[in-house]
A and B are shown apart, each in its own frame.
Chain A
Amino acid sequence: MILVFCELKDGKLRKPSAEALSEGRRLADASGQQLGALTVGASADGAADAAKYGADSILTCVAPSLASYSSDAFAAAIASAAKAKGATIVLGAATAMGKDALPRAAARLDAGYAGDVTGLSMEGGKLQAQRPVYAGKAFATTGFTSAVQVATTRPNVFAATEKTGPGAMESVEAPAGDFKAIVKEILAKGGGKVDLTEANVIVAGGRGLKSGENFKILEELADALGGVVGASRAAVDAGWGLSHGIQVGQTGKVVSPTLYIAAGISGAIQHLAGMSSSKYIVAINKDPDAPIFKIADYGIVGDLFEVVPELTKAAKAMGIGAHH
C-alpha cells in the first residue's frame, strides 16, 4: 500500500494533502498498489474528501487526546498505520506539520526519507524522488534501499486531480500514553492569508522599498492580484518590522508560485535560490544591470514607487485577480 498522511483543517482536506494524495494515486496506478489515506485528530470531519482524490481506503485515527498536534503522537500514529497495512511508501505534504511528523515517523519505521520533493516515480518497484538541493541551485534524484520509503511533497508543485476512489472508511488504533510535546496555542500572524509556499502569486520587495510602511504599495498590488507579500533578507533584516516568515531565499522560504514579482530586489544568488523555480518572474528595478533581470520573463526598468501603483491600477482596470 501507498499510505498518504492527510491534514484536515476546519473539516476539510488541506490542498497540499490533496496534491500528495493525487500523486499517491498516480504512483499506485503505476505500480499496481492500493492507495490509503490516513487522518489523525480528535475528529475525522473532512476525511471523506480523500475519496475525491482516489483513495481506495481512508484510515481514521481518532481520539480526544489528538485534538492538538503532537509530533511524537502523530509520528507514532503514522508509523503504526503504515506497519498495520504493510505500507512500503508513506507520503505527506511538506507543510509545517508534514515536515515535523514524517521524518520522525520515518525513523520509527527504519525508513529512508526524502524531504520537500518536486517529482516522484517508480523504478523497478522502488520509489525515486526528484528534489531541489542547495536551495534550488541543483536537482538531485534520491533512490531508496530501505523496505519502507518516506517522502514529503512540496506544496503547489503536484496537481490535485479529482479522481473518485472507493474511499472505504476504517478506523485505526490511536497512540496511547503520555505525549512528549503538544501544541498549546496557535499565534496567527498572517491575517488568514495563505502561506508564501502555497501562494499562486507573490509580490516581493527588497531594500529598494526603503521602509516598512512602503510595503503597503506591494500589499495593494498583492491584494489586487490575489497574492501575498514576500521580502528579501536585506528588507527583513533592515528593522522595518517585517516578519522573517516572509523572507524568500536560501535562508528563508523556497517558493514556486505561478507569478513572482520582485520589486527593488537586486537578485543576489541567495535570493534567486529561493524563487527561481517560479513559473513566471517579473522584475522591477531602476538599475537596468541588476542581476534579477537575467532570470526575469518580464522586466520593467523604472522607479518602483511609480510602477507598482500603476500596476495595481492596471490590474483593477482589467479585472485581473477577480476570479481568485
Chain B
Amino acid sequence: MKILVCLKQVPDTETKIKVAGDGKSLDPTDVKWITSPYDEYALEEGLRLKESAGAEVTVATVGDDKAKDVLRNAFALGADHAVLIKGDGQGDTLATASILAGFAKDKGFDLVLSGNKGLGGDNSAVGPMLAELLGYAQANVVVKLEITDGKFRAEREIEGGTEVVEGSLPAVVTAQKGLNEPRYASLKGIMAAKKKTIEETEVAGHAPATGTLAMTLPAARAEGRKLEGDAASQAKALMDALKNEAKVF
C-alpha cells in the first residue's frame, strides 16, 4: 500500500496573532512554526499502517524552504519519503488542493491522509477538494480507521456522535483528534533523519480562487465584574444578572 500524508506548517498554537503592515497577513516576527496538530494524527495513522501492513509512507508539503522542518520531523518519526512542493503554502484551498492533486496523480497512492483542518486558514477544505480532484472516495474528521482488502471503514465525527463511512480505496481520509496517540521522535530517529534527502519539486496548480482582503483582531473583551458573597449569594447574583441584565433567559 502506498500512502501520501499531507503536512502543513502553521504558527504554534501559543502564537499571539499580530497583523502585518499590509493589513491582511500575519506578522511573522517571533512566530514559531510547527506541524499543524491534526496532521500529526494523519502521519501517525500512516506510520501505524506502515508497521501493521507494510505501507510505504510519503509525506509532502506545499510551502517554502522553512517548511522543510515539518518534513525533517516526519523523517524522524519514520516516513519513507519526503517531498517539498515549492509554492505558496498560504495560496488558497483550491490552489493547494490542485497542487497536491497534480503531485499525487499517476503516483498510485492508495490512501491520502491529511488533517481535518489546517490551523490558521481553518477552512477544512483541502481534503475533500483533493478527493474530488483525484476522483477518490473521502472520509472526513475520522476518529477510527480500518483498512481490509482494498476497502475502508471509517468512523467520522458528526453532531452528537459518529457515523460509519465505508468505501473502496483509493481514498482521502482526514484525521481528527482521537484517531490515535501520535508518537514522539526518538534520538535515533532524529539522527537518521539528518541523513535522509528531502526531494524538491514544483507542480503547476489552479490559480487561487480566493484572496484575503483584510485581517483584523477581535475587539478585546472587557473584564467584567466579580460577584461577591458566599456560594449561595454568588449563585443567586449570577442568575439574577443573567436573567435581568444580560437577558440570556
Contact = CB atoms under 8 A, between A and B. Distances in A.
A257 to B, nearest CB: 10
A166 B164 CA distance: 38
Contact of B138 (A71, A188, A276, A311): A71
B158 interface: yes
A140 B214 contact: yes
Contacts, number: 298
A143 B213 contact: yes
B172 to A, nearest CB: 10
A197 B159 contact: yes
B231 A96 contact: no
Interface string A174-185: 000001111111
Contact of B93 (A103, A110, A135): A103
Contact of B166 (A139, A182, A296, A302): A182
B223 interface: yes
B15 to A, nearest CB: 7
Contacts of B140: 71, 99-100
B201 interface: no
Q: How would you classify the secondary structure of chain B's contact residues: helix, strand, loop or mixed? A: mixed
21 contacts: A71-B131, A96-B141, A100-B140, A100-B141, A113-B209, A133-B215, A134-B11, A138-B216, A139-B216, A141-B215, A146-B209, A146-B210, A181-B138, A181-B171, A186-B163, A188-B160, A188-B161, A225-B249, A244-B143, A244-B178, A300-B227
Interface of A: 69, 71-72, 75, 95-97, 99-101, 103-108, 110-116, 128, 131-146, 179-195, 197-198, 201, 225, 244-245, 247, 250-252, 258-259, 269-270, 273, 276-277, 279-282, 288, 293-303, 306-307, 310-311, 313-315, 318, 320-321, 323
Going nearest first, the 3 A-B pairs with the smallest beta carbon separation are A190-B160, A112-B209, A181-B167
Interface of B: 11, 13-17, 19, 24, 26, 37-38, 92-94, 97, 119-133, 136-141, 143, 153, 155-168, 171, 176-178, 206-218, 221, 223-227, 231-232, 234-236, 238-243, 246, 248-249
